[in-house]
């Protein structure tokens, strides 16, 4: 009922509801970490770096092995990888992660999907990882960044669920708020003006055709209610070096804490 009321009101007040949806898109929610996730972060060497108007929290768990960069999803944070990080530590990897602008322990402020992507590009250039792991929207940020860093070769890349089209994120916000289709179009136009970029060309299934990745693995729960499985399937269908594993009974977030999934990731990285 609430969504129907919002939909009706958005028809009457399109500017107001465009602003409401835009605020949802540029002010990510910060979710509290579990105790064991905090404990893992406390094992890291931490630093703060300046990025645009933000203070970005970075993490490193030093190891003698290959450098691995972890990229969390929208409204996620580095601590979401804690179960995987503990296994990577045992394997001796040199592990790097960060909290995106207005995410986790990084400073707060109005941000955008493009800020997230720009920071990802900067971290990739600075860290030069051999291996890469992303969750959810982190896959969009990583593949778009790699497209613009053709000299950087990733030996192995794991995508734990991935959207395909950036426009799907806009549609998700629109559906969550319950706004009408004309307001959704105004929202997309506003985002495109801000980014000086057309949304409909930002598709992971196109990026992966040109990025320098030697081998990739995509894992996605077939009943994921946040990102449909079909999006990962389309990415996989367009990526010559990838394989796709169907996961069951984990959903979008618990997949990062599921033992059988973590074992498959570690085996692939080896």
Q: Kindly report, residue by residue over 64-84, the tens digit of the pLDDT.
A: 999 999 999 999 999 999 999
CB proximity list for 243: less than 8 A, separation 6 or greater = 216, 217, 218, 236
Report the share of the chain in percent with pLDDT over 90: 71
Average pLDDT, the chain: 89
pLDDT average, residue stretch 109-125: 93
Written as six digits, the tokens of 50 are 């300046």
Structural Rg of the chain based on CA atoms: 18
**Beta strand 45-51 pairing with 54-61:** antiparallel
Over 50: is that where the pLDDT of 91 sits? yes
Residues 140-198: tens digit of each pLDDT = 999 999 999 999 999 999 999 999 987 776 776 666 666 677 777 777 777 777 767 77
> For 195, phi and psi rounded to 5 degrees?
-90, -10
pLDDT average, residue stretch 245-267: 97
CATH number of 39-164+203-269: 3.40.50.1820
Within 10 A of 35 (CB to CB), how many other CB atoms are there?
6
166-177 helix and 181-195 helix, angle to the nearest 10 degrees: 140
Written as six digits, the tokens of 78 are 């580095």
Q: What is the pLDDT of residue 188?
A: 78
Over 60: is that where the pLDDT of 258 sits? yes
| Every domain of the chain and the residues it spans | 1-30+174-197, 39-164+203-269
Residues 38-67: tens digit of each pLDDT = 999 999 999 999 999 999 999 999 999 999
pLDDT average, residue stretch 226-246: 96
Over 50: is that where the pLDDT of 2 sits? no
- Strand order of the β-sheet with 67-71 is 45-51, 54-61, 94-98, 67-71, 131-135, 154-160, 213-221, 242-247
């Amino acid at each position: 009922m609430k969504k129907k009321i919002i939909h009706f009101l958005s028809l009457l007040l399109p500017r107001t509801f465009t602003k409401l949806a835009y605020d949802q898109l540029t002010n990510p929610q910060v979710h509290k970490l579990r105790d064991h996730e905090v404990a893992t972060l406390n094992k890291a060497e931490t630093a703060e770096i300046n990025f645009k108007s933000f203070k970005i929290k970075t993490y490193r768990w030093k190891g003698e092995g290959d450098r691995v960069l972890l990229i969390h999803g929208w409204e996620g944070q580095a601590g979401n990888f804690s179960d995987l990080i503990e296994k990577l530590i045992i394997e001796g990897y040199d592990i790097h992660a960060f909290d995106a602008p207005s995410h986790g322990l990084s400073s707060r402020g109005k941000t955008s999907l493009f800020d997230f992507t720009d920071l990802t590009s900067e971290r990739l250039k600075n860290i030069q990882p051999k291996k890469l792991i992303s969750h959810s929207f982190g896959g969009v940020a990583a593949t778009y960044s790699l497209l613009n860093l053709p000299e950087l070769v990733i030996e192995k890349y794991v995508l734990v669920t991935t959207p395909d089209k950036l426009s799907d994120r806009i549609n998700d916000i629109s559906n969550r708020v319950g706004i009408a289709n004309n307001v959704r179009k105004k929202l997309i136009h506003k985002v495109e003006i801000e980014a000086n970029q057309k949304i409909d060309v930002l598709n992971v299934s196109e990026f992966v055709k040109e990025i320098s990745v030697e081998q990739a693995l995509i894992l996605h729960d077939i009943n994921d209610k946040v990102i449909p499985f079909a999006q990962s399937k389309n990415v996989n269908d367009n990526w010559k070096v990838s394989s796709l594993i169907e996961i069951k009974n984990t959903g979008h977030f618990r997949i990062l804490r599921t033992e059988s999934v973590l074992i498959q990731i570690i085996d692939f990285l080896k």
